[in-house]
Amino acid sequence: MALKRLDSIRPVRWDDGALVMVDQRLLPRQYHEHSYRDAGAVAQAITDMVVRGAPAIGIAAAFGVVLAARARYQQVGTGWRAAIEQDLTTLAASRPTAVNLFWALARMRRAVELITAGDPYPPLLAEAQRIHDEDIAANYTMGELGAALIDSPCAVMTHCNAGALATGGYGTALGVIRSGFQAGRIRQVYADETRPWLQGARLTAWELHRDGIPVALVCEGAGAHLMKQGDVKWLIVGSDRIAANGDVANKIGTYHAAIAARHHGVKVMVVAPTSTIDMTVAHGDAIPIERRGEDEVLSLAGQRVAADGVGAWNPVFDVTPAALVDAIVTEKGVVLRPDAGKMASLMGGR
């Protein structure tokens, strides 16, 4: 008998004409959902990290286009198509690194172009829902493909949150971990805290504990020492953008963990849908890296932790070279020891 999937979390959903999103800033202490009926508010929620994770951001933006089209059609009728251009620009500016955002907006734009007459709301809503459903299905596939790479029961390590909360549901890296745990291939998960937003502590540990998967929290600085003990066999992470040569942009600290993993013989698995692969970017150095405000580093839970007058450097992502990656897992298949040729083959020569 097939096991029931560990799949109960939906960070983004459409309900009664509104986009409903879990406020991930409040987890794990408070589970609260916000309803959005305005595209500008959706863009602000993405910027403010109410929703985060590249696939979830893309899905939220797709539903933001639905809200924009509905409002513009009600305001100006047949002139709605030109009127939503500003909304599309606003949504695109909400987070610069997550390529899924631009992929989803491009797909919604193609759906806009196919509408020749009438109310754009029904066809655009159907397209946004397809994007959401396809993401969940892709995560199920990646979960099985990634788990199959793990030879024997072991401990694994993950960084940031690439779980249900970062996607349409189930998760990318945590999808592999969920599938691997249920298959008996993973017996323990170690999650980095992930400063400064503590996604590992607040989100990943919450998700795994909720599903009954053994999880222990570690400081990023403890990762190399943990790997040295020999129990951890895989570092499993997600990605916000993958370059054409297989370089991987992910939450700041991933590069640090991947270097430690290579030194200690720990394999690195990156799990992401093909919508995260940007074949227009030749290598990781060309990926724009978002920087956020100093206060995120200088303060914790609203309390300043550094002396007055001290500054901070706060890049949100870093790039792990393809040479440090053992496997990229996508819904279209697995790329072992990625390079430009293998990535082009995966993506159909594009």
- Residue 349 is predicted with a pLDDT of 63
Residue-by-residue pLDDT tens, the chain, 350 positions: 355 688 889 999 999 999 999 999 999 999 999 999 999 999 999 999 999 999 999 999 999 999 999 999 999 999 999 999 999 999 999 998 778 999 999 999 999 999 999 999 999 999 999 999 999 999 999 999 999 999 999 999 999 999 999 999 999 999 999 999 999 999 999 999 999 999 999 999 999 999 999 999 999 999 999 999 999 999 999 999 999 999 999 999 999 999 999 999 999 999 999 999 999 999 999 999 999 999 999 998 889 999 999 999 999 999 999 999 999 999 999 999 999 999 999 999 65
Region(s) of the chain under CATH 1.20.120.420: 12-137
Q: Which of 135, 192, 240, 326 is catalytic?
A: 240
Instruction: Give dist(CA 114, CA 110) in Å, integer.
Output: 7
pLDDT for res 313:
97
The verdict on whether 240 is a catalytic residue reads yes
Residue 1: predicted pLDDT: 39
| Residue 267 to residue 172: CA distance in whole angstroms | 17
Cα–Cα–Cα angle for 329, 189, 21, rounded to 5 degrees: 70
The per-residue pLDDT for 132 is 97
The Cα 350–Cα 342 span in angstroms is 11
Which CATH code fits 12-137? 1.20.120.420
- Identity at 14, one-letter amino acid code: W
Q: Which CATH superfamily is domain 142-346 in?
A: Translation initiation factor eif-2b; domain 2 (3.40.50.10470)
Asked if 64 contacts 40 with a C-beta cutoff of 8 angstroms, the reply is: no
Residues forming CATH 3.40.50.10470 domain(s) in the chain: 142-346
Other Cβ atoms closer than 10 A to 309: 5
